[in-house]
Amino acid sequence: MTFTIYSYLKQFYQTERNFVSNMTLSNKLRIYRAEAKLSQQEVADAIHISKSKYYRMENGTATPNADELNALLSLFNISYEEMVNTTFPITHTIKYPTELLSMLEKAIKENSEISENWNENRLRYNRLKEALEPLMNIRSEAMDFPELDLTYIIPGTTVKTVNLDMRGEYLIDQCLKAQERLANALFG
């Protein structure tokens, strides 16, 4: 049986896509362009960049920006995951530094009781706030969402999961409850 070169390449690329999971973006661009039977110039024109930039993208010396990547996804009718081999959900694990947890635990023990003195309650509240702040910054950063265009993600897909440090979350909860009691004592 004889194959034309294009048929052979198409069959090769389809087979390769099944076996190579960590293919580079530049290789993927070549494959998708060949499957679409487009020239480099045609792809460049379709995504509104110069031919030389697209050539560099296929050779791995340039990468597409977000708009160019979205245009490529649309042109080749593929998902973001297919293009960059990203799997969802993105998983992040929060691990608070032990010294920060120890400082918060100490602050909770020393500053949780309500005093009869308004200024003392204010100082205790602020000490808890100061001990809590670095942990909340770490938590906020972990919970932050990456700048992804999720237009092509199937609705209902879990995009990010965050594994929590249970000791840290327990201490944060205890600190917030102590701050709430102190705030009620301060402001009624």
Domain ranges of the chain: 5-80, 90-187
Task: Assign 8 a pLDDT band (cuts: 50, 70, 90).
Answer: very low
Check: CB of residue 144 under 8 Å from CB of residue 150. no
DSSP designation for 112: -
Amino acid present at 24: T
Confidence of residue 13 (pLDDT cuts 50, 70, 90): very low
* pLDDT over threshold 90, residue 10: no
CA distance 166 to 177: 17
Looking at domain 5-80, its CATH class is mainly alpha
In angstroms and rounded to an integer, the radius of gyration of the C-alpha atoms of the chain is: 27
Backbone angles phi, psi at 163, to 5 degrees: -90, 125
Q: Please report which confidence band the pLDDT of residue 31 belongs to, taking 50, 70 and 90 as the band edges.
A: confident
The beta strand positions in the chain, using DSSP E, are 90-93, 160-163
Rounded Cα gap, residues 160 and 141, in angstroms: 13
Give the other-Cβ count within 10 Å of 153's Cβ.
Answer: 16
Distance CA 188, CA 185 (A): 6
Answering whether pTM is above 0.85, one says no
CA distance to 4, 89, 99, 138, 153, per residue, from 158 (Å): 43, 5, 33, 22, 10
157-176 mean pLDDT: 91
